[in-house]
């Protein structure tokens, strides 16, 4: 599988770029020690220079430091929301595919219901209604993190459920499942030990694509002013602040926007490469 993945040059390039971004956001802040929250009005909206490689924002805060710290938050949100979506989608898809019949029909109608919902308006509505309550319980940063991750995950599990359900409907009729049943395997053991490992490749591909989708969704929320607090420098929050300075200080939007673009495109290419590597016949 790894050899087939390496044959896809775009997927390999995506892996290299994503690896570089991840290493940068987690390691460079220990080397580039300029405080991301320090305000210096004398350097307000300064362009890129040796002192500030990515320039500064309207408050004179260093853009490179904020992009690095914001990358940690954006990537963490993407991974956490992906885990929520994958776990929920896998559970629902596995139950529907294994039991079939009425259970399958009910769960798939629930999936169709969620697919028919307008995601962005619903996401904005839920965040707007519950963000103050969750902030009062868990704090402004942790509360918004929990709310954003939970809502994004709960609105993106449907494709995973359909993938897992479709494969399990086919796998449950195979001989190895009948043999495990004859040996007395319980439904939970059949699903966990015999069926899910056979759809693990599909789950990995779905997980890779879900991370990019979650990062875009979080950035959209922050850009609309319903994400993290203004003092938390996520990439979307930086774009939101930069929209009023596009003509005078375009660097304020270019660098966080480029970070989002490179991260999401890299993840999408990796997902495509994984799909082809796991199922080489998809190239035919």
pTM, 2 dp: 0.83
pLDDT at 184: 86
3-state secondary structure of 249: coil
Contact indicator for 264, 212 with CB cutoff of 8 Å = yes
Contact indicator for 200, 171 with CB cutoff of 8 Å = no
CATH of residue 255: 1.10.3720.10
Does residue 223 fall inside a structural domain? Answer: yes
Q: Which pLDDT band holds residue 224 (cuts at 50, 70, 90)?
A: confident
Q: How far apart are alpha carbons 71 and 101 in whole angstroms?
A: 45
Q: Domain residues for 134?
A: 2-28+62-283
Does residue 39 fall inside a structural domain? Answer: no
Q: Which pLDDT band holds residue 284 (cuts at 50, 70, 90)?
A: very low
The mean pLDDT value of the chain amounts to: 87
Contact indicator for 25, 75 with CB cutoff of 8 Å = yes
Task: Supply 17's token pair.
Answer: 């770029």
Does residue 178 fall inside a structural domain? Answer: yes
The total number of structural domains that make up the chain: 1
Ramachandran region of residue 232, left (φ > 0), alpha (ψ -120 to 50) or beta?
A: beta
Does residue 179 fall inside a structural domain? Answer: yes
Average pLDDT over residues 136-146: 84
Q: Is residue 197 predicted with pLDDT exceeding 70?
A: yes
Residue where the block lists tokens 């494709």: 159
Does residue 56 fall inside a structural domain? Answer: no
- 154-187 pLDDT, tens digit per residue, is 888 998 999 899 888 888 888 888 898 888 888 8
């Amino acid at each position: 599988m790894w050899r087939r993945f390496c044959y896809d040059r775009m997927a390999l390039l995506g892996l290299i770029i994503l690896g570089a971004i991840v290493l940068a956001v987690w390691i460079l802040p220990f080397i580039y020690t300029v405080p991301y929250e320090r305000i210096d009005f004398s350097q307000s909206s300064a362009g890129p220079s040796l002192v500030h490689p990515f320039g500064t924002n309207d408050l004179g805060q260093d853009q490179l430091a904020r992009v690095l710290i914001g990358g940690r938050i954006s990537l963490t949100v993407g991974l956490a929301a992906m885990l929520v979506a994958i776990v929920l989608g896998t559970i629902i898809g596995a139950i529907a595919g294994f039991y079939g019949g009425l259970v399958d029909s009910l769960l798939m109608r629930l999936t169709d219901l969620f697919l028919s919902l307008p995601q962005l308006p619903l996401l904005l509505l839920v965040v707007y209604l519950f963000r103050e309550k969750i902030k009062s319980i868990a704090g402004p940063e942790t509360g918004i993190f929990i709310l954003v991750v939970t809502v994004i995950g709960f609105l993106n599990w449907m494709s995973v459920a359909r993938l897992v359900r479709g494969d399990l409907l086919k796998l449950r009729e195979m001989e190895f499942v009948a043999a495990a049943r004859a040996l007395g395997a319980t439904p939970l053991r059949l699903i966990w030990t015999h069926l899910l490992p056979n759809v693990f490749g599909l789950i990995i591909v779905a997980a890779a694509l879900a991370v990019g989708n979650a990062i875009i969704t979080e950035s959209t929320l922050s850009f609309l002013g319903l994400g993290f607090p203004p003092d938390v420098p996520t990439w979307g929050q930086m774009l939101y602040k930069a929209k009023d300075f596009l003509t005078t200080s375009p660097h304020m939007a270019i660098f966080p926007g480029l970070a989002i673009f490179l991260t999401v495109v890299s993840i999408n290419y990796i997902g495509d490469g994984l799909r082809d590597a796991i199922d080489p016949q998809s190239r035919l």
